[in-house]
Amino acid sequence: MAGAGAPDSPDPEGAGTRPEDVPSLKEIEQLLNTGRPSCNHVDEVWPNLFLGDLQFLYQTEENENLSLIQPECMQRTSRMLRTRDSSPLTRSPAYETPSLTDLQQLLWLRGGSDNHVDQVWPNIYVGDAWAARSKATLQSLKITHILNAADGPYNIDTGAKYYADLQIEYYGIEAFDDPAFDLSVFFYDAANFIRKALNSSGGKVFVHCAMGVSRSATLVLAFLMIHENMTLVDALKTVSTHRNICPNMGFLSQLRDLDIKLNEERKKTKASATTGP
Give the whole-angstrom CA distance, residue 208 versus residue 63.
38
Give the end-to-end CA distance of the chain in Å, rounded to a whole number. 104
The overall average pLDDT reported for the chain is 80
Mean pLDDT of 125-136: 97
Q: Of 39, 73, 209, 246, which residue is the catalytic one?
A: 209
Contact of 177 with 215, CB cutoff 8 Å = yes
pLDDT tens-digit series, residues 192-224: 999 999 999 999 999 999 999 999 999 999 999
Q: Which pLDDT score is estimated for 114?
A: 83
Of 231 and 6, the structure prediction assigns the larger pLDDT to: 231
The pairing of beta strand 205-208 with beta strand 124-127:
parallel
Four-point Cα dihedral 66, 71, 74, 76, nearest 10? 100
What domains can you pick out in the chain, each with its CATH number? 41-82 (no CATH), 117-272 (3.90.190.10)
Q: Please check the confidence at residue 3 and state whether its pLDDT lies above 60.
A: no
Could you read off the pLDDT of 11-58 as tens digits, one per residue? 555 555 566 678 877 676 666 655 555 555 567 778 768 776 544 444
CB 125 within 8 A of CB 141: yes
Q: What is the pTM of this model?
A: 0.70
246 counts as catalytic: no
> How far apart (Å, rounded) are the C-alpha atoms in residues 62 and 217?
32
In angstroms, the CA 217 to CA 189 distance is 15
Predicted confidence band at 89 (pLDDT cuts at 50, 70, 90)? very low
The pLDDT of residue 271: 80
Q: 257 and 184 in contact (C-beta within 8 Å)?
A: yes
Residue 272: predicted pLDDT: 79
| Residue 95 zone, left/alpha/beta (φ > 0; ψ -120 to 50; rest) | beta
The pLDDT, as a whole number, for residue 113 is 83
- What's the whole-number mean pLDDT along residues 252-259? 98
Q: Which residues pair with 51 in a beta bridge?
A: 43
Pairing between β-strand 169-172 and β-strand 117-121 as defined by DSSP bridges: unpaired
At residue 42, the pLDDT reads 67
**139 Cβ contact list (under 8 Å, min separation 6):** 166
Q: What is the C-alpha separation between 96 and 234, in angstroms, rounded?
A: 12
